[in-house]
């Protein structure tokens, strides 16, 4: 393509991931480049362990529809948030496939709390659970779960605030002691959204769990998930707010926030988020970061929301969950006559 170029190089200061640099005359040329090089781009993503940072797409900020087209390079189904009944303030007014994450109105989504202290004893940015909170993989409370999340930085705070962290759960699994690996093979986690009253604090507080319709139930996911493209196994877990601490978080192990299942999840999270497995992305305006939910954990971090406006666009791509989910209906689609969030109106 005349005047357009795409180059790949390893991501700096990262144990995994690839940097893709795009030069294209305008948004249409950039989108054409993505479509033309689709196999090469998704191949580079998988070869790099499921993380890609794309630079050179600043013009996307005026073209949300182009982000949806680019997202289709990574899988067949791009979630339409209107169909999954997300509140309107959380998706783009013209393009319902674009989820809006912002501290600005109408979204008004606050950043995670400021960690105290902000840096660890050695003056480094803390990455490891539990010092670093909210490690998760997107929508693991659905079966089949999604493939890939794309995050685009429209307006970003300084690069040393509001970073997004990614942990390589393929490498983390490989590094587990053989006896721990043997202990977790064949186990399943119970994943649940944070708003159904099954977080540790809900259970400890003795809050009556919400009655759930069939499409709202926690979902089992294997603790070791095989990636459908690379064939590599990876740890598949989430932090406490996204696992069921009433009946889980691990099927067949002692339930509850202090049970054997919760202790195992905490141990695995602390292992998977060791610094050697983690990449911290400090945002520049116009960055597009693509993360594979099938083999990565990610976490948001604090920024000073009083000083800095932040606007991110997100798309979620699904369609290749792996053999484990072959032929399954979507767990989150309600039976006729029911609404997705029925009974959750206060969530
Ligand atoms: Fe997320």
- Which of 167, 115, 127, 129 is CA-nearest to residue 269? 129
Architecture of domain 5-320: 4-Layer Sandwich (3.60)
How many angstroms does the Cα of residue 179 sit away from the middle of ligand 1? Answer: 31
The single-letter DSSP state of residue 1 is -
How many angstroms does the Cα of residue 34 sit away from the middle of ligand 1? Answer: 24
How many angstroms does the Cα of residue 293 sit away from the middle of ligand 1? Answer: 9
Q: What is the mean pLDDT of residues 175-186?
A: 96
Instruction: Give the distance from CA 44 to its chain's centroid.
Output: 19
More confident of the two residues 118 and 259: 259
How many angstroms does the Cα of residue 4 sit away from the middle of ligand 1? Answer: 32
Place of tokens 């000083």: 307
Which structure tokens are listed for 250? 């691990």
How many angstroms does the Cα of residue 139 sit away from the middle of ligand 1? Answer: 8
How many angstroms does the Cα of residue 5 sit away from the middle of ligand 1? Answer: 30
- Which of 320, 314, 321, 318 is CA-nearest to residue 150? 314
What residues pair up with 91 in beta bridges, in sequence order?
99
Beta pairing, strands 51-55 & 18-23: parallel
What residues pair up with 166 in beta bridges, in sequence order?
279, 298
User: Residue 130, preceding bond cis, omega within 30 degrees?
Assistant: yes
Domain ranges in the chain are 5-320
* Residue 187 pLDDT: 98
* Residue 346 pLDDT: 62
* Residue 347 pLDDT: 57
How many angstroms does the Cα of residue 346 sit away from the middle of ligand 1? Answer: 22
Residues less than 5 Å from ion ligand 1, measured at CB:
138
More confident of the two residues 137 and 13: 137
How many angstroms does the Cα of residue 138 sit away from the middle of ligand 1? Answer: 5
- Gap between the Cα atoms of 166 and 280, Å rounded: 6
pTM, rounded to two decimals? 0.96
Dihedral through CA 314, CA 74, CA 235, CA 228, nearest 10? 160
Q: Is the pLDDT of residue 2 over 80?
A: no
Tell me the pLDDT tens digit for each residue of 83-122: 887 888 999 999 999 999 999 999 999 999 988 888 888 8
Q: What percent of the chain has pLDDT over 90?
A: 85
How many angstroms does the Cα of residue 314 sit away from the middle of ligand 1? Answer: 9
How many angstroms does the Cα of residue 56 sit away from the middle of ligand 1? Answer: 23
Q: What is the mean pLDDT of residues 298-302?
A: 97
Cβ contact 64:95 at 8 Å: yes
Q: What is the mean pLDDT of residues 260-273?
A: 98
How many angstroms does the Cα of residue 300 sit away from the middle of ligand 1? Answer: 7
* Residue 343 pLDDT: 80
Cβ contact 163:283 at 8 Å: yes
- Which of 289, 313, 347, 316 is CA-nearest to residue 104? 313
Which structure tokens are listed for 172? 């983390």
What residues pair up with 22 in beta bridges, in sequence order?
6
In a 3-state reduction of DSSP, which class is residue 209? Answer: coil
Orientation of helix 27-36 relative to helix 64-71, angle to 10°: 10
* Residue 344 pLDDT: 77
- Which of 187, 222, 192 is CA-nearest to residue 324? 222
Tell me the pLDDT tens digit for each residue of 213-258: 999 999 999 999 999 999 999 999 999 899 999 999 999 999 999 9
How many angstroms does the Cα of residue 1 sit away from the middle of ligand 1? Answer: 34
- Gap between the Cα atoms of 35 and 31, Å rounded: 6
To the nearest whole number, what is the mean pLDDT of the chain?
A: 94
How many angstroms does the Cα of residue 316 sit away from the middle of ligand 1? Answer: 10
Place of tokens 């406006």: 309
How many angstroms does the Cα of residue 3 sit away from the middle of ligand 1? Answer: 35
């Amino acid at each position: 393509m005349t005047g357009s170029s795409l180059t790949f190089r390893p991501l700096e200061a990262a144990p995994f991931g690839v940097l893709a640099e795009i030069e294209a005359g305008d948004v249409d040329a950039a989108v054409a480049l993505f479509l033309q090089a689709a196999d090469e781009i998704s191949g580079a993503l998988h070869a790099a362990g499921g993380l890609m940072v794309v630079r050179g797409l600043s013009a996307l900020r005026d073209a949300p529809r182009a982000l949806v087209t680019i997202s289709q390079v990574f899988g067949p189904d791009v979630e339409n948030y209107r169909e999954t009944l997300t509140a309107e303030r959380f998706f783009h007014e013209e393009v319902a496939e674009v989820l809006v994450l912002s501290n600005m109105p109408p979204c008004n989504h606050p950043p995670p709390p400021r960690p105290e202290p902000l840096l660890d004893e050695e003056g480094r940015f803390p990455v490891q659970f539990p010092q670093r909170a909210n490690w998760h993989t997107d929508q693991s409370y659905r079966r089949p779960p999604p493939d890939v999340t794309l995050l685009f930085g429209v307006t970003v705070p300084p690069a040393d605030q509001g970073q997004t962290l990614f942990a390589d759960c393929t490498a983390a699994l490989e590094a587990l002691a053989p006896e721990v690996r043997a202990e977790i093979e064949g186990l399943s986690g119970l994943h649940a959204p944070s708003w159904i009253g099954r977080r540790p604090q809900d259970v400890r507080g003795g809050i009556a769990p919400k009655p759930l319709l069939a499409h709202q139930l926690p979902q089992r996911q294997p603790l070791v998930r095989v990636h459908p493209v690379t064939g590599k196994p990876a740890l598949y877990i989430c932090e406490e707010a996204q696992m069921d601490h009433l009946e889980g978080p691990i099927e067949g192990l002692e339930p509850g926030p202090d049970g054997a299942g919760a202790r195992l999840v905490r141990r695995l999270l602390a292992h998977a988020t060791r610094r050697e497995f983690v990449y911290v992305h400090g945002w520049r305006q116009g960055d597009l970061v693509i993360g594979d939910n099938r083999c990565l954990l990610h976490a948001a971090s604090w920024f000073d929301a009083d000083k800095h406006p932040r606007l991110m666009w997100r798309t979620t791509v699904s369609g290749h969950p792996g053999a484990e989910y072959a032929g399954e209906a979507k767990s989150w689609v309600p039976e006729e006559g029911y609404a997705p969030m029925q009974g959750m109106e206060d969530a």
